């Protein structure tokens, strides 16, 4: 239930971003604020993503809030990478500690928000028809929360069950004795397949784009490491807040060409043994120099060939068409080993594309694959999807869906021209998905909080960016991407390429979290340059 008719602030979403934004606006600024959340409980991404094998790719000691040392001392992570249940428990702990639940309304999906120019506030409506108004509207809807179920003819008539990994049933899915088809081999599919294969009668994996993966090497955390992370809270925070990606490890200063081939091989082997996203931090030019990147790519392809016993399957898995890390690099637990199981088959969609779904299964060009269950590990309508699912209207009832037809236009990924008092936490145009998310979230939440505090102190009624500032920022976002190999993988979801009809624009800011943080700080210090702060 939406309480009251007018609020100072409405925050949409109760994940990492929404909780911290509520805490900042309510307890630090004293605002009457409320969170509206579509799900039945806290968690955001982790409320919905409960598929088999789901686990965060960021390490536990970095995938957390850094605003409170006390909080860090109270919370004990149990594994190297947190799973969805542990993340939800952590957020529940945060909500209890700061008494946040009393201002969160669950099962309230926001469907529309319109800026009322005369009253200078937002009119917000939920799916059930509840209405409220708010001076400030902050979206904390996540970047990967709008499921992408591809339109494949025949799905409606499929006699079996089908699921999208991002909308997984809370009671789980029983794969025992079932013939399962999994479409998608991104981070999610790579996590899910080994676990599904353990119980399914047969698992057929439909691969469109072959992918690199590095072992995650998840394990219970040793008490000494847990103690170390508590004792080194400030150092870990300092690293996480000053690195390119917001992780608690630094990218090595060396280039690939600085070492001999033998040294390079030893470095890659050590990183492989260590496991995780740190593999891409072994050399500083991996994402900027094609030849450098090719050495990592070859190392990883050789690992696939050495692991997968069937040569044709190994070749299909190693036939990767983009530089390492140019698409989001997955980490895994026994993914390639899974293809050595007798109950697992790979279908290479590049050679044998899906034509339709039949009553009994999936029909590719050459054959029908009979299935009881189809798992869509097909990703998300990333970054813009969760925002555009709502009908957001700014000045003159202009529509965000219309304004972003050719791609998102934001200033710093924080605000949109023509949409006053509207802030987008980790919105398109900010580092967002290229980072360890909680670090990017904290930076945005604190910046937004300071901006609102500044506006209130100065009698400012509306804050919105200049159109020119947004246009120039958009150019900087493209420029930053072009300086990296991320720009080479035109078929990645960073460009929106996974959703048919979506404009092909590189969406996140690839210039680095450390640089972005300084840009935002500088803009605020110069009196919010590029923003219009209107008093009337
Ligand atoms: P991703 O990374 O978008 O992966 C989705 C996968 O599904 C990928 O292999 C896609 O192939 C495949 N896909 C998507 N649509 C289709 C169709 N129509 N047919 C066949 N295959 C398809 O999503 P994830 O959920 O794995 O990961 C999202 C993020 O969550 C991840 O990056 C982390 O940040 C956490 P494609 O590569 O597009 O050819």
Q: For position 5, what pLDDT does the model report? A: 86
Q: Per the structure block, which two tokens stand in for 439?
A: 């670090």
Q: What atom in ligand 1 is closest to the CA of residue 378?
A: 7
Please state, in angstroms and rounded to a whole number, the distance separating the CA atoms of residues 56 and 13.
19
Best mutation site among 87, 186, 435, 494 for ligand 1 pocket (most ligand atoms within 8 Å of CB): 186
Tokens representing residue 45 in the block: 């991404």
* Ligand 1 proximity of 496 Cβ (cutoff 6 Å): no
CB atoms inside a 10 Å sphere around CB 500 = 9
Closest CA to 76 of 279, 257, 226, 248: 226
Q: Residue 348: is its pLDDT beyond 50?
A: yes
Span from the CA of 495 to the centroid of ligand 1 (angstroms): 13
How far is it, in rounded angstroms, from Cα 343 to Cα 54?
A: 21
Give nearest CA residue, ligand 1 atom 31.
187
| CA distance between the termini of the chain | 32
Give this prediction's pTM: 0.97
**pLDDT for residue 492:** 96
Mean pLDDT of 46-68: 98
- Neighbouring residues of 214: CB distance < 8 A, sequence distance ≥ 6: 271, 272, 275, 276, 277, 279, 300, 329, 330, 331, 332
**Which tokens is 129 given?**
């028809």
Ligand 1 atom 32, closest CA: 328
* pLDDT tens-place string over residues 268-295: 999 999 999 999 999 999 999 999 999 9
Pairing assessment for the beta strands 179-183 and 202-207 based on DSSP bridges = parallel
pLDDT digits (tens, 9 = 90+) for 134-148: 999 999 999 999 999
Average pLDDT, the chain: 97
Residue 349 CB–ligand 1 contact under 6 Å: yes
pLDDT at 2 over 90: no
Q: What percent of the chain has pLDDT over 70?
A: 99
Q: Which of 55, 155, 182, 379 to mutate to test the pocket of ligand 1 (most atoms within 8 A of CB)?
A: 379
pLDDT number for residue 536? 83
């Amino acid at each position: 239930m939406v309480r009251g008719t007018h609020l100072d602030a409405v925050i949409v979403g109760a994940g990492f971003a929404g909780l911290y934004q509520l805490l900042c606006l309510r307890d630090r600024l004293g605002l009457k604020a409320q969170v509206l959340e579509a799900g039945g409980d806290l968690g955001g991404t982790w409320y919905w993503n409960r598929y088999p094998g789901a686990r965060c790719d960021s390490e536990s000691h970095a995938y957390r809030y850094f605003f409170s040392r006390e909080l860090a001392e109270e919370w004990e992570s149990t594994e190297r990478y947190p799973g969805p249940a542990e993340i939800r428990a952590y957020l529940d702990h945060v909500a209890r500690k700061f008494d946040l639940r009393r201002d969160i309304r669950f099962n309230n999906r926001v469907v529309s928000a319109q800026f009322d120019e005369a009253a200078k506030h937002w009119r917000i409506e939920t799916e059930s028809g509840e209405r409220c108004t708010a001076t400030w509207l902050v979206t904390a809807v996540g970047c990967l929360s709008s499921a992408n179920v591809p339109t494949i003819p025949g799905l409606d008539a499929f006699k079996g069950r089908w699921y999208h990994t991002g909308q997984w049933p809370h009671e789980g899915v029983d794969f025992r004795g079932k013939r399962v088809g999994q479409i998608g081999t991104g981070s999610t599919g790579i996590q899910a397949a080994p676990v599904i294969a353990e119980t399914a009668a047969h698992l057929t994996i439909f691969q469109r784009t072959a992918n690199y993966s590095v072992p995650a090497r998840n394990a219970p955390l040793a008490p000494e490491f847990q103690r170390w992370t508590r004792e080194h809270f400030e150092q870990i925070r300092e690293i996480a807040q000053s690195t390119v990606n917001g992780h608690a490890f630094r990218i090595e200063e060396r280039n690939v060409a600085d070492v001999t081939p033998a040294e390079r091989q030893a470095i890659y082997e050590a990183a492989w043994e260590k496991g995780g996203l740190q593999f891409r931090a072994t050399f500083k030019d991996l994402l900027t120099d094609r030849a450098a990147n090719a050495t990592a790519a070859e190392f990883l392809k050789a690992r696939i060939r050495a692991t997968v016993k069937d040569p044709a399957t190994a070749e299909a898995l190693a036939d990767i068409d983009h530089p390492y890390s140019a698409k989001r690099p997955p980490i895994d637990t026994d993914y390639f080993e899974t293809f050595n199981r007798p109950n697992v088959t790979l279908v290479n969609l590049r050679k044998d594309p899906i034509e339709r779904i039949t009553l009994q299964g999936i029909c590719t060009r050459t054959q029908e694959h009979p299935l009881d269950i189809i798992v869509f590990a097909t990703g998300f309508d990333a970054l813009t999807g969760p925002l555009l699912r709502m009908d957001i209207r700014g000045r003159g009832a202009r529509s965000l869906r219309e304004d972003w037809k050719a791609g998102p236009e934001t200033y710093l990924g924080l605000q949109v021209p023509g949409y006053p008092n509207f802030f987008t936490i980790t919105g398109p145009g900010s580092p967002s998905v290229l980072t360890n998310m909680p670090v990017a979230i904290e930076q945005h939440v604190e910046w937004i909080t300071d901006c609102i505090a500044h506006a209130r102190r100065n009698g400012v009624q509306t804050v919105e960016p200049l159109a020119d500032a947004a246009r120039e920022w958009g150019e900087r976002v493209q420029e930053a991407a072009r300086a990296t190999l991320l720009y080479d993988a035109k078929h990645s979801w960073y460009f929106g390429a996974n959703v048919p009809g979506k404009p092909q624009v590189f969406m996140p800011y690839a210039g680095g979290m450390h640089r972005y943080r300084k840009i935002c700080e500088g803009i605020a210090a110069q009196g919010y340059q590029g923003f219009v702060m209107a008093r009337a």
